[in-house]
Structure 1
Amino acid sequence: MKRKLLASTLLLALSFNLPVCAKNVTLQELQQDVLPANVNMNDSNKSFTKDHWAYKTLENVTKKYGLLVGKPEEKFDGNKPLSRNEAAILLVSLVGKIEQDNYELTEAEKVQVDILRQELTSEINGLTGRMETLENSVESLKGTVSNLEEADKNAWQHSFGEKFKINGALQGKYTGNFERGSDNYASNFGIPYTELDFTGKLHKHISYRALLLPSRAFNNSANGIIGDAYVSTDIIPHHNILLGQTRRPIGYEGMFGPTSINLETIDKSQVSRKLSDIRDIGIRTNGNWKFIDYYLSANNGQGQNVSDNNNNLDLGGWAVIKPLHKAPQFGSLELGGGYYNGKSTYSHETFGFYSGYKFKRYAIRGEYTQKDGYLTANTKAGGWYLHNSYYLTDKMQLIARYDQFDPNTKIGKNDVSEYTGGINYYFKGNNLKLQFNYVYVDDKVGKDSSRLVTQTQLCF
């Protein structure tokens, strides 16, 4: 369309913007006044040689005003005749440059150009027609390409899908005991966690994830190396629906908070390790808004990488409200809680509460979780923690946590408390960091312990 408008504009310029002169004159008078005496106006079907008046007109005007477009060697060399179509193209280009750069032609030059326009009217009209045809062809081609692109968006992609990525993580840890206790932490080197994370999009609104945990192959884990494995869709605004294996929606730290690669402490709290850090197979819906996040799920209830052996489903939900979402200058406040219940070998139910606050470099969060049906049908367990962190610099962070867990609330004075203090140094965020934790364990039933743990992490 732009070319069509350009051609029309140039033709109008040729017709109206270059008047012959202020007085009415005949074509014969013009020939006598401004054209060479030997010009023959009746050779309209021939090419223009170097001696032709049309050739001379184009040559003189373009050279005078520096309007000839092209490579330096592409010039009127006086050897090659100029076809009428070539002359028409040059004339249209010439007038376009004059209009664009506001050149002022002399009256004689205006007359010469106008006579040349009359001479080449049929070629110019044909040129305009070809431009329109070309423009229509281009528009048609654009439509075809657009349709193909739209069809491609609606089609399934190749086997890996769009935006296919592989990420990974590797942790190396050393534990040194000052006093070994009932928790049986050994003084040794270890690789506590590794992961390979495969993600991608199969369709505009369909994504997938496959998280492999190779470290479980040699740390005696009964859960297998497959972590998260699901397909998801965000076709509903503000929602993401996951189908497959993922975490149960209970407990902030176990489910929604720090993962193994972005923990501020080397280990999660006791209550998270024992009650809420659990994967299962099922369907989960996540809702994310500025003022509230919520999570609902239905799971088999058998746990990670285990086939279902009954008709029962576990049901659970968790919600977090953000009261300060409209006043971030006062920090970030979150208040949440949830409930989860099910029945496999026996009935069980878990509930918990969480709160967290961040302001500039300081953050504090706490959580309480209780489970009826912990390990056995009649056992009730519970615990809580309070976690503090403060950034001394953009790379150095101090942490302090108190953590208590009671494996059987019906028995008095059998809880275990952990006191953790440490420092983290982030060379490149969580992608490359070094952590030091001192942990003292107060065991009301067994033997107390204390240890110094250091861990380094590399993510890619």
Structure 2
Amino acid sequence: MKKKFFLAASIAFLVFNSTVSAKNITLDELQSSQANFKPAVNITAKEVNSGHWAYKSLENITRKYGLLVGDASEKFDGSKPLTRNEAAVILVNLIGKVEQEKINIDQTEKMQIDILKNELSEEITALTGRVAILEDSVGKLQGSVSNIESNNSKTFKAGYGEDFKLNGSFQFKYNGVIQKGADSSAFPPNFSIPLADLRFSGKMAPHMNYLAQINSQRTWGGASSSTTTGGLLGDVYVSTDILPHHTIFVGQTRIPVGVEGTMSPTALNTIDRSQIARNFSDYRDVGIKIAGSYPIVDYFLGAYNGAGQNYKDSTNNMGIGGWASIKPLYKHPEFGKLELGGGAYRQQNASTTVATRYESQTYGTAIGYKYKKFGIKNEYAYRHGYGAIASDGTIPVAKGMFTETTYDLTKKVQLVAKYDVFNPSNKQKTNTEYTLGTNYFFAGNNIKLQVNGIAVSNMVGKDSKRLMILTQYAF
């Protein structure tokens, strides 16, 4: 960390050719020094005014986390534009501060910093390439920031592209049945590895990245024993961030329906996903997806072959849909974080034979709020077309919702409660799951222990109770 912190100060020294102490450079110092700065290479001095997206992104992130060090009263001066050189140096200081203090930033801000890095790559390259002794550190800065892109990532350069990374995650789970019920056959007592994946990623060219994920799963426990399920390949795509605020994915990705269903299993607050996520949106398909991120809104649009994960198209009817989330409090983080989302997805129903498939539509809404130690979220989903058509020609309908609350007892201990209902048929009966649990974070989501107790009220048959324990390691 000391090396990375020294990097920011060293770059500033090289830029301004003046003596500085080992601290971040303030905006006033940048502006006062710019007049005397004579770059050794031809760098554009194009201004970035206060209305420019890059100016606003730097301002919002540095103000939120207090990363622009100096007097407490110092802030961005909206009446003065930045040059691109100044913006580049501020970005270098920002990244160094994030790494030094191990600050966890949210996904939106990560994307903003990624976009800024690409936008100012020419300036950063020129500023950091002037001293050979900094070459290794600069390569890491230009390639990735470990606390922003992925924790403890390892980067290499080889014939398969630049900034090659190998990441992975592993989960080991025990499911114990306290009281057998109608659903016990789906949750038998056993040990399992619900997640064991490796992810290979890197950069093929400027603004062109790739990722390939290999999944495997194994369950031990009598008749429930299984080998790999759902196919060996998970996310497999090529992506580009050439458009500001956007990333385009081409390949196999998660379909953009719902919130919990599209989350990585390593980020879940409970061991199992909700019933609507398990039944509606926890799967991948082959196609193209566009992700957009702005301070006030995030959105996803996708078009897929409609056949599902690791399958070729057999219907000639695409699946298409999208999801959007707005953030009304993005300018007032002191009031917490509020997100309101909704979306829809239509496709050929894949639960029947090819000859009897028909179009189905899935609709969903979600709301989430986080304030200090307390968090709550709710998600609702409805699908018109769930399973085979009834003998009288009725198209089956399924729907459900869940509400989940969390409380951070300490920095390492989190309490969670979940109310989850699902109606898999036209009959007005539901399966209801009540979950109480505890999460212990040894090292954030990288090393985590989860304990869940679940009581299930089944719409048909006997109720059940089970205890689940999961350990997780990610690198």
Q: TM-score range by the shorter chain?
A: 0.5 to 0.7
Map of 1:42-191 to 2, 5 A cutoff?
Answer: 158-183=158-183, 184=185, 185-191=187-193
Alignment of 1:234 with 2:241, yes or no, is yes
Shift of 1:158: 4.8
Give how far 1:220 is off. Answer: 4.7
- Taking the aligned partners of 1:158 and 1:308, their CA distance within structure 2 comes to 35
Q: Check whether the contact 1:215–1:225 (CA below 8 A) recurs between aligned residues.
A: no
CA contact (8 A) 1:173 1:190 kept: yes
Q: 1:208 aligns with which of 210, 234, 253?
A: 210
Segments of structure 1 that go 5 or more residues without pairing to the other structure are 1-141, 143-152
Q: CA deviation at 1:214?
A: 1.7
**Pair 1:338 & 2:343 matched:** yes
Deviation at 1:222, TM superposition (A): 4.6
Q: Provide the secondary structure at the position in 2 that maps to 1:192.
A: strand
1:46-70 Cα distance to aligned partner (Å, 9 max, x none): xxxxxxxxxxxxxxxxxxxxxxxxx
Amino acid in structure 2 at the alignment position of 1:239: H
| CA deviation map 1:203-243 (0-9, x unaligned) | 11000111111226973555201010000000000000000
Q: Does 1:449 align with 2:451?
A: no
Report what 1:196 is aligned to.
Answer: 198
Residue 367 of structure 1 aligns with which residue? 379
Sort the Cα spacing of 1:356 and 1:284 in 2 relative to 1 into closer, same or farther, 3 A.
same
Tell me, in whole angstroms, the C-alpha distance in 2 between the residues paired with 1:439 and 1:302: 33
Aligned with 2:275 (options 267, 270, 274): 270
Distance 1:216 1:351 in 2: 33
Q: Equivalent residue for 1:292?
A: 297
Matched, 1:422 2:407: no
How many residues align? The count is 302
Conserved in 2, the CA contact under 8 Å of 1:173 and 1:191? yes
Residue 392 (structure 1) aligned to one of 409, 425, 444: 409
- Is the contact between residue 348 and residue 360 of structure 2 (CA under 8 Å) also seen in structure 1? yes
Q: Could you tell me how far 1:161 is from its partner in structure 2?
A: 1.0
Answer with 319-328 or 303-312: which moved more: 303-312
Give the 3-state SS of the residue equivalent to 1:230 in structure 2.
strand
Mean Cα displacement is larger for which, 215-224 or 309-318? 215-224
Are the structure 2 counterparts of residues 222 and 431 from structure 1 closer, same or farther at C-alpha, using a change threshold of 3 Å?
closer
Q: Which amino acid aligns with 1:390?
A: Y
* Structure 1 residues 411 and 278: alpha-carbon distance in aligned structure 2, compared to 1, 3 A threshold: same
Equivalent residue for 1:36? none
1:357 paired to 2:369: yes
2:286, 2:304 within 8 Å by CA — same for their partners in 1? yes
CA contact (8 A) 2:192 2:218 kept: no
Q: Deviations over 1:6-26 (max 9, x none)?
A: xxxxxxxxxxxxxxxxxxxxx
Q: Deviations over 1:306-325 (max 9, x none)?
A: 00123321110110000000
The answer (yes or no) to whether the contact 2:402–2:419 under 8 Å persists in 1 is: yes
Structure 2 unaligned runs (5+)? 1-129, 131-141, 143-156, 220-224, 350-356, 390-394
Identity of aligned residues (%): 47
State the partner residue of 1:254.
261
Task: Pick the aligned partner of 1:411 from 427, 439, 443.
Answer: 427
Please list every run of at least 4 consecutive aligned residues from structure 1 whose deviation after the TM superposition is greater than 6 angstroms.
Answer: none
Work out which of the two has the higher radius of gyration on C-alpha atoms and give 1 or 2.
1
Contact 2:379 2:402 in 1 (8 A): yes
Match of 2:453 in 1: 438
* Alpha-carbon distance between aligned partners in 2 of 1:216 and 1:284, rounded to the nearest angstrom: 30
1-side partners of 2:236 and 2:249: how far apart?
Answer: 9
For 1:246 and 1:271, how far apart are their aligned partners in 2?
A: 19
Q: Aligned residue for 2:147?
A: none
Find out whether 1:348 has 2:360 as its counterpart.
Answer: yes
